Chain A
C-alpha cells in the first residue's frame, strides 16, 4: 500500500472518530453555556490538552520543524516566543478572566464600560484576528495535501480547502465548545505521540548524543556552524539594522500576542473554577514546551538525516521536513514498510492538527458574533439564550463559508505572514484592553475602544505597507511595490501605539466608575459571583 493511501485511511479514521464525538457532544449541548463554554465542566488536564491542541498548529509542527531544517537555529527562536507567552496568560490573565467573564473576551472588557461600543470593538477585533489566522491555516492545508498526498492539481487543493472547511463547520455547528474541545484533546494526544515517537527514533540513531546530531545537521545543511546560531532567516546580516529590529518586533508580538488571542482566551471559560484555569495553563505550558523541544530535534534531525537540500527541493518553505524525516528514520530502522507507515502517520497527524485549530478559530469568531455583536449590540441585550445559540450556529456556518471562499481566492498567494499578523493585532489591541480592564482603576469606555481600534488599525496598516505585502519576491503581491516600511512585523510600533491609545482615550474622557472597578477587582481575585459549571 502506498503511504498516500495509508495516510488517507488513517485520516478518515480520525474524521470518523471526531464526527462521532461531535454527534455525542451535540446531544449534550443544550444551553448557551454548553455551546460557548462546554458547560464549564472540563478538568484542568483536559483543558490543558485542549489548549495544546488549539495552539500547536500545523504552522508550529510542520512550519517550525521546516524552518529549523532549512535555516537552523532561527526556527527555535520562534518556538521560544510561542512558549514564554504562556506566562503572561498564566500570571495576568487566565484566572482573572475565568472569574469575571462569561463566554467571550468582550465580557471582561464590557464589564465596567458602556457595553455597545466596547463589544463592537472587541467583536470586530475577534473576528478579524480569527479570520487572519484561519486563512493562513486553510491555505496551508491546501498546500499540504499536495505535498503529502502527491495531489498537485489546482482542483485538488481547492477540494482540500472545501473539505477542511466543511469539517470545521460541522464540528462547531453541531459540537459547539464541547465537541471542539474533544477534537482538540484527541489531536493533542496524537500529535504529541507522533512527534515523541519520531524524536525518539532520531535520537536513538545518534545514540542520544545531541552534540553529534547538531554536528551532522550543521554539516549536512552546507552552512556549517552558522546553522546552529541565529541569523540565517530572521535579521540576517545582509538585511542590516532593520532586519534585526524586525526580529525584535517579531519576538515582542509572539510573547505578548498569545494572551490576547480570542480562541485562546475562551478556553479559560471551559473549566469550573479559576483554580482549574490555572491548572489547565500549567498543563498547557508543560505540553507545549515539551512539544517545541521535540520540534527542535525533529528540525535538526531532518537537516542531519534527510539533508537541507532534499527538503528544500520538496518544498521551498520546508513544510515537509517532519514527514520526510519520519519516512527516513522509519526506513532506516524498520525497512521500506516502516518508512511508509511512519510517513503516513505523521501526514495524518498533520491533517488532524489543522482541523482542530481551524475549529477553535471558527468557534471563537462565531461565539463573539452571536454573544457580542448580535445579542448585545444589535439586540441591546434583549436576545434569549436560545436565540443566541441559533445565531452562533448560523454564524459558524457563514464564517466557515467566507473562510473557504477567501482561502480559495488566496491559495496562490503567500499568506503565511497572517499568523504573525494575528499575534501582532492581539498584542497591540486586545492585550492592552484586557490588562487595563483588569488592573487600571481609571480605565473607561473611550480607553478600551481606542486601545482596540488603535492597535488593530496600526498593526494592519503597517503590514499593508510592509515588504510582506508588496515589494519583495516573497510578498503576497510580488509584482506590485507600494511598501514604505522596511519592517515585516509591526509589533515594535503597534504594541506601544495600542497601549498609548488606551491611555490617552482614558485620560481624555471624563467617564470613571469606581464602584464597577471595585466589583471587577473583587470578583476577578476572589471568584465571587463567578459563573458556575452547568453539567458534568
Chain B
C-alpha cells in the first residue's frame, strides 16, 4: 500500500491562483523597494565617509548638501511608509480578507488553530 501525501489546507490555499496573486503583489512591491531604500541609505552613508567636500557644499546660507541629503532620508522614509500603507490597503488587504474569510467559513482552520 502506498501512502499518498495528502495536501494540507494550507498547501491547497498556497497553490491557488488568488494566493499566488497576493504573494506576487506583496513581494513585487516590498522586495524592490527594500533594495531601493537600502541602496539610497548606503549611498548617503558612503558619501558621508568618502565625499565630504561634496557634502560640505553650501546650497543656501549655512545649509549644505549633507543636511539636505540627511533630511531627504527622513522625507523618503515617510513617503515610502505612506506609499506602502496605501499599496497594502488597496492591493493586499482585500485578497487577504477574501482568502481568510473563505477558509474560515469552510471551517478548515478552527479558531486559533496551530
Contacts and interface: CB of A to CB of B under 8 A. Distances in A.
Contact of A84 (B41, B52, B82): B41
Contact of A528 (B41, B62, B109): B109
Given A91-B84, A529-B112, A532-B112, A230 B66 contact: yes
Contact of B77 (A235, A289, A514): A289
Interface string B92-114: 11001001100110000101111
A76 B104 contact: no
Given A87-B37, A230-B66, A521 B23 contact: yes
Given A92-B34, A521-B14, A521-B23, A77 B56 contact: no
A196 interface: no
A73 interface: yes
Given A77-B48, A255-B41, A521-B14, A526 B77 contact: no
Given A255-B41, A278-B85, A228 B67 contact: yes
Interface string B3-21: 0000110110110000100
A91 B99 contact: no
A230 B50 CA distance: 10
A519 interface: yes
B96 A525 contact: yes
Given A76-B70, A248-B45, A255-B41, A225 B22 contact: no
Given A87-B37, A211-B62, A229-B64, A522 B13 contact: yes
Interface in B25-79: 26, 30, 33-34, 37-38, 41-42, 44-46, 48-50, 52, 55-56, 58, 60-64, 66-67, 70-71, 73-74, 77-78
A215 B112 contact: no
Given A228-B66, A235-B49, A80 B73 contact: yes
A86 interface: yes
A341 B24 CA distance: 56
Given A230-B49, A244-B50, A518 B11 contact: yes
A529 B14 contact: no
A525 B34 CA distance: 18
Contact of A285 (B11, B38, B44, B81): B81
Interface string A297-322: 00000000000000000000000000
Nearest to B30: A91
B49 A83 contact: no
Contacts of A529: 109, 112-114
A183 interface: no
Chain A CB count within 10 A is highest, among B33, B60, B74, B82, for B74
B8 A519 contact: yes
Nearest to B61: A211
Contacts of A252: 42
Contacts of A218: 62
Contacts of A522: 10, 13-14, 19, 99
Nearest to B26: A525
A80 B44 contact: yes
A229 B112 CA distance: 53
Say whether chain B's binding surface is mostly helix, strand, loop, or mixed. Answer: helix
Given A77-B70, A248-B45, A87 B34 contact: yes
A90 B81 contact: yes
Nearest to A213: B62
Residues of A in contact with B, size category: 35 or more
Contacts of A515: 7-8, 10-11
A392 to B, nearest CB: 20
Contacts of A523: 10
Contacts of A275: 93
Contact of B30 (A92, A230, A528): A92
B100 to A, nearest CB: 5
A75 to B, nearest CB: 11
Contact of A526 (B41, B48, B96): B96
A129 interface: no
Contacts of B37: 84, 87
Nearest to A245: B49
A87 B13 CA distance: 29
Given A218-B62, A228-B64, A247-B48, A91 B34 contact: yes
A76 to B, nearest CB: 5
A99 B110 CA distance: 15
Contacts of B103: 526, 528
A248 B19 contact: no
B77 A87 contact: yes
Nearest to B47: A230
Interface of A: 73, 76-77, 80-81, 83-84, 86-88, 90-92, 95, 210-212, 214-215, 218, 225-226, 228-231, 235, 244, 247-248, 251-252, 255, 275, 278-279, 281-282, 285-286, 289, 292-293, 514-515, 518-519, 521-523, 525-529, 531-532
19 contacts: A77-B70, A80-B44, A80-B73, A81-B41, A84-B37, A84-B77, A87-B81, A211-B61, A211-B62, A225-B56, A229-B55, A229-B56, A244-B49, A247-B49, A252-B42, A275-B93, A282-B82, A525-B96, A528-B109
Given A255-B41, A526-B13, A528-B104, 14 more contacts: A73-B67, A80-B41, A84-B37, A86-B81, A229-B56, A231-B48, A247-B48, A248-B42, A251-B42, A282-B85, A526-B19, A526-B103, A529-B112, A529-B114
Q: Which 3 A-B pairs have the closest CB atoms?
A: A211-B61, A251-B45, A244-B49
